[in-house]
């Protein structure tokens, strides 16, 4: 044998010996470790169930060759997988145990408990009906019910039963009297307390009545509207035309005072959302034809027609058209391209929309106003000219005189050309569109407030061109209030801040001075309260009501320096109170301004009769030592020329709708209309001028046979003027630094 073979044989014998002896360094034999099964999950979800419901048993193992779960979680003889899940229907509380077995017979176990509670007993309502389901109040309906699995039943509200002391049967019927719509609720309860409910409704149709008494009234009177719900039950009631929403249930009444025939509709709503209606018509007869019981007149301060209403035509036409009215009127307003020059500074300006609702003051005094209108021949011509036509005035010097009063922000006087429009004065623009106005209405003289207001009181300034200083003699000129007393005409004088009448001796008259009251008294009377006692405004107000401008601390007179919007809102509060009062149907309210305030207007003054024999500076009252008494200006002129145009609006049910007068007048025509209406003797030749010339009489503004403006026009779709007219905003910017024109 060769050596290689012998070596191989020897290696094999040695290897066999090593394997037989094992690898122990000690030389002893070792045994492999046993295989141990592991249960990594054994759970039930849920672990608490109701009998008859299911739970899911889930398990997972490792090193297991087989698993068993006791009690069994599946049917049949198939072996369970070593990991898996099974859904089991539970009938009783059970503890499940899993046993996992490895290949070498080693086992592991784990348990999970599923708690089972008894299943509830579910009551079932198989019938719950009413027959019939619609009855009249006092009739009956049969309530029938049937249940299964119920230990007891109740019905709410209770129904009659044959045995009043015993429980209702779980199935049965009852004849129930029905007085109003009723919903019955049946509750069935099982032995373990489980409940089921059902409802049934028996309807009683309710009735609604609406009546008004008296059924016919005269405009401005009141009637009582009454309503009543009977039989069924309503959940809500409303009555239109502002009566009530919601209204008191089931019955009540309300006082109504429409100015025109009105049909009221009441709507009652049932719980199911259905509704019924009832109507009542109140016939309103107009006030006796041609009868005006109250004339209100009020003058605010210092505004020219052009600068207040120069934008009115552009607003009126579409505004009236929206209410179904075609505007056929023309209004004389400024040329937007007109250019004025300040002859002191050389600055020029055209009319511009004023961006501030308050500006610095301007001077409308005698000399300034006479210069502003630019008489042919210059200022010196005033001493020699005695008759005038419109062509004698160029109307272009307004910028020259603006610095005759203190100013900070407008050295060129351009603010005299600043105008406002409907965005600034929406309430006034609406009034001037739907009621009556004039584009030829002037102040009585070319001067400032005090001499013009003298004309308002006495139809003359009795020689005065200028205001007198404080402490002047009380003026002896008889006033319109004295004349009304002589004619037995009732009147009241209302003021906000001061009483201009106190400048006259008449104010000391015991029959005149005590008739002056704060404007709060007027608002209270219009609202139906006289010294805290309920009253009828139409009966509590006199024939003539004068409202002094709010010239003073309130700042509500619309004068330059003051906020025009606050002033306009104040005026609105008075007119709105009148419109909502019982006095509205037979009243006239005249709103105007005492003079133009130094603001531009393109229409020249016109000639009028001198009121009396007193020439400028010839004042009849003996001077009591007051400095500056009965002063005259540097420029000449007489009392035979009006002042400039001022805004005016006539507000009344009897005003001609959307009327514009083109007849020249000054506002002493108001005195003349009072004198004509209530048979009062005229004061001077000035107010008599409007009385003796029918074409100048203010009757032109009215149709006393037809109160066409008791309520808004039919196309306006509003029940009252106060809800229809645009309200006066007070949100404008008041900053005098913005007053200058571009």
Write the CATH number for 73: 2.60.40.2470
pLDDT number for residue 10: 45
Domain interval for residue 176: 124-202
Would residue 13 count as lying in a domain?
A: no
Mark whether 314 and 351 lie in a shared domain.
yes
pLDDT at 125 over 90: yes
Last residue of a domain, one of 154, 170, 202: 202
Mark whether 464 and 524 lie in a shared domain.
yes
Would residue 16 count as lying in a domain?
A: no
Mark whether 696 and 667 lie in a shared domain.
yes
Q: Quote the percentage of the chain above a pLDDT of 90.
A: 75
Q: What is the pLDDT of residues 511-534, one digit of tens each?
A: 999 999 999 999 999 999 999 999
Mark whether 661 and 675 lie in a shared domain.
yes
Last residue of a domain, one of 100, 117, 134: 117
pLDDT number for residue 286: 62
pLDDT number for residue 165: 66
Reported as a pLDDT band with limits 50, 70 and 90, residue 549 is: very high
pLDDT number for residue 654: 95
User: Concatenated DSSP letters for 481-541?
Assistant: HHHHHHTT--EEEEESS--GGGGBGGGGSTTTGGGEEEHHHHHHHHTTEETTEE--HHHHS
Q: What is the pLDDT of residues 424-461, one digit of tens each?
A: 999 999 999 999 999 999 999 999 999 999 999 999 99
Would residue 14 count as lying in a domain?
A: no
Mark whether 212 and 301 lie in a shared domain.
no
**CA dihedral (373, 378, 384, 390) positive or negative:** negative
Mark whether 625 and 538 lie in a shared domain.
yes
Mark whether 91 and 178 lie in a shared domain.
no
Mean pLDDT over 704-717 rounds to 85
User: Concatenated DSSP letters for 150-191?
Assistant: -SEEEEES----SSTTSPPPSSEEEEEE-SS-EEEEEEEE-T
pLDDT number for residue 261: 83
Q: What is the pLDDT of residues 605-653, one digit of tens each?
A: 999 999 999 999 999 999 998 888 999 999 999 999 999 999 999 999 9
Mark whether 621 and 727 lie in a shared domain.
yes
The vertex-114 CA angle with 113 and 118, nearest 5°, equals: 140
Q: What is the pLDDT of residues 562-583, one digit of tens each?
A: 999 999 999 999 999 999 999 9
**If you ran DSSP here, which 8-state letter would residue 235 be given?**
S
Mean pLDDT over 23-48 rounds to 76
Mark whether 226 and 184 lie in a shared domain.
no
Question: How far is the first Cα of the chain from the last one, in angstroms, to the nearest whole number?
Answer: 137
Mark whether 173 and 223 lie in a shared domain.
no
Reported as a pLDDT band with limits 50, 70 and 90, residue 205 is: confident
In terms of C-beta density within 10 A (0-12 exposed, 13-18 middle, 19 or more buried), how is residue 195 classed?
Answer: middle
pLDDT number for residue 702: 95
pLDDT number for residue 30: 59
pLDDT at 132 over 70: yes
Which of 9-18, 292-301, 420-429 has the least mean pLDDT?
9-18
Number of domains forming the structure of the chain: 4
Mark whether 245 and 392 lie in a shared domain.
no
Mark whether 510 and 387 lie in a shared domain.
yes
Reported as a pLDDT band with limits 50, 70 and 90, residue 163 is: low
Computed over every residue of the chain, the mean pLDDT equals 91
pLDDT at 21 over 50: no
Would residue 157 count as lying in a domain?
A: yes
Residue given tokens 């005098």 in the structure block: 736
* CATH code, domain with 542: 3.40.720.10
3-state SS assignment for residue 321? helix
Last residue of a domain, one of 285, 317, 335: 285
Would residue 15 count as lying in a domain?
A: no
Distances (CA, A) of 480 to 294, 376, 484: 16, 37, 6
In terms of C-beta density within 10 A (0-12 exposed, 13-18 middle, 19 or more buried), how is residue 505 classed?
Answer: middle
Phi, psi angles (nearest 5°) of residue 195: -125, 160
* CATH code, domain with 133: 2.60.40.10
pLDDT number for residue 374: 97
pLDDT number for residue 15: 42
Would residue 9 count as lying in a domain?
A: no
Q: Give me the helix-helix angle, 668-678 and 449-458, nearest 10°.
A: 10
Q: What sections of 338-425 are H helices per DSSP?
A: 366-372
d(CA 170, CA 230): 36
Q: What is the pLDDT of residues 270-293, one digit of tens each?
A: 877 888 899 999 988 765 544 799
Would residue 1 count as lying in a domain?
A: no
3-state SS assignment for residue 472? coil
| Contact predicate 71/65, CB 8 Å | no
pLDDT at 321 over 80: yes
CA atoms within 13 A on the CB side of 319: 22
Would residue 664 count as lying in a domain?
A: yes
User: Regarding beta strands 195-202 and 172-177, do their DSSP bridges make them parallel or antiparallel, or are they unpaired?
Assistant: unpaired
pLDDT number for residue 234: 85
């Amino acid at each position: 044998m060769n050596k290689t073979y012998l070596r191989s044989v020897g290696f094999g014998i040695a290897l066999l010996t090593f394997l037989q002896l094992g690898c122990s360094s000690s030389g002893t034999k070792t045994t492999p470790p046993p295989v141990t099964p592991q249960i990594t999950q054994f759970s039930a979800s849920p672990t608490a169930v109701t009998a008859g419901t299911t739970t899911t048993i889930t398990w997972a193992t490792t090193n297991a060759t087989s698993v068993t779960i006791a009690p069994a979680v599946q049917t049949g003889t198939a072996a369970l997988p070593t990991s898996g899940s099974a859904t089991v229907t539970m009938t009783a509380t059970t503890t499940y145990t899993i046993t996992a077995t490895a290949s070498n017979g080693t086992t592991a176990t784990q348990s999970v408990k599923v708690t089972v509670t008894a299943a509830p007993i579910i009551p079932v309502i198989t019938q719950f009906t009413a027959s019939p389901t619609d009855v009249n109040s006092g009739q009956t309906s049969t309530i029938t019910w049937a249940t299964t699995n119920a230990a007891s039943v109740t019905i709410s509200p209770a129904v009659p039963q044959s045995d009043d002391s015993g429980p209702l049967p779980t199935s049965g019927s009852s004849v129930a009297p029905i007085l109003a719509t009723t919903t019955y609720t049946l509750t069935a309860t099982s032995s373990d307390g489980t409940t089921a409910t059902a409802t049934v409704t028996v309807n009683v149709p309710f009735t609604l009545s609406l009546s008004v008494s008296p059924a016919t009234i005269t405009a401005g009177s009141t009637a009582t509207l009454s309503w009543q719900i009977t039989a069924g039950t309503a959940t809500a009631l409303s009555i239109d035309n502002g009566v009530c929403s919601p209204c008191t249930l089931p019955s009540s009444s309300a006082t109504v005072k429409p100015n025109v025939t009105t049909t009221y509709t009441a709507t009652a709503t049932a719980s199911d959302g259905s509704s019924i209606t009832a109507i009542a018509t109140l016939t309103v007869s107009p006030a006796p034809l041609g009868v005006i019981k109250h004339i209100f007149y009020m003058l605010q301060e210092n505004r020219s027609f052009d600068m207040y209403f120069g934008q009115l035509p552009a607003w009126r036409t579409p505004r009236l058209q929206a209410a179904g009215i075609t505007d056929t009127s023309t209004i004389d307003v400024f040329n937007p391209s007109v250019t004025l020059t300040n002859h002191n500074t050389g600055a020029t300006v055209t009319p511009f929309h004023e961006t501030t609702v308050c500006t610095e003051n301007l001077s409308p005094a005698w000399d300034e106003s006479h210069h502003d209108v630019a008489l042919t021949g210059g200022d010196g011509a005033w001493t020699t000219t005695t008759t005038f036509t419109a062509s004698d005035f160029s109307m272009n010097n307004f910028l020259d005189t603006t610095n005759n009063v203190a100013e900070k922000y407008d050295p060129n006087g351009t603010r005299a050309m600043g105008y406002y429009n409907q965005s600034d004065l929406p309430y006034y623009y609406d009034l001037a569109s739907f009621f009556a106005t004039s584009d030829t209405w002037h102040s009585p003289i070319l001067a400032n407030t005090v001499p013009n207001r003298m004309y308002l009181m006495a139809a003359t300034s009795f020689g005065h061109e200028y205001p007198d200083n404080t402490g002047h003699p009380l003026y002896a000129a008889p006033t319109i209030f004295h004349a009304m007393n002589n004619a037995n005409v009732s009147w009241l004088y209302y003021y906000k801040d001061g009483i201009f009448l106190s400048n006259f001796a008449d104010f000391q008259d015991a029959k005149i001075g005590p008739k002056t009251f704060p404007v709060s008294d007027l608002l209270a009377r219009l609202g139906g309260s006289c010294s805290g006692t309920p009253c009828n405004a139409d009966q509590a107000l006199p024939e003539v009501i004068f409202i002094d401008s709010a010239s003073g601390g309130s700042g509500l007179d619309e004068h330059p320096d003051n906020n025009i919007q606050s002033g306009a809102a104040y005026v609105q509060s008075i007119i709105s109170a009148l419109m909502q009062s019982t006095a509205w149907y037979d009243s006239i309210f005249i709103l105007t301004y005492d003079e133009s305030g130094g603001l531009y207007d393109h229409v020249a003054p016109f000639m009028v009769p001198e009121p009396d024999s007193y020439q400028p500076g010839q004042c009849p009252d003996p001077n009591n030592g007051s400095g500056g008494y009965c002063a005259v200006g540097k420029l000449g002129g007489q009392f035979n020329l009006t002042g400039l145009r001022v805004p005016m609006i006539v507000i009344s049910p009897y005003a001609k709708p959307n009327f514009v007068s083109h007849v020249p007048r000054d506002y002493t025509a108001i005195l003349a209309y009072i004198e004509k209406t209530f048979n009062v003797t005229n004061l001077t030749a000035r107010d008599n001028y409007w009385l003796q010339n029918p074409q100048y009489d203010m009757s032109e503004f009215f149709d006393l046979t037809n109160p066409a403006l008791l309520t808004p026009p039919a196309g306006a779709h509003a029940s009252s003027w106060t809800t229809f007219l645009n309200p006066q905003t007070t949100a404008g910017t008041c900053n005098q630094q913005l007053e200058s024109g571009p």
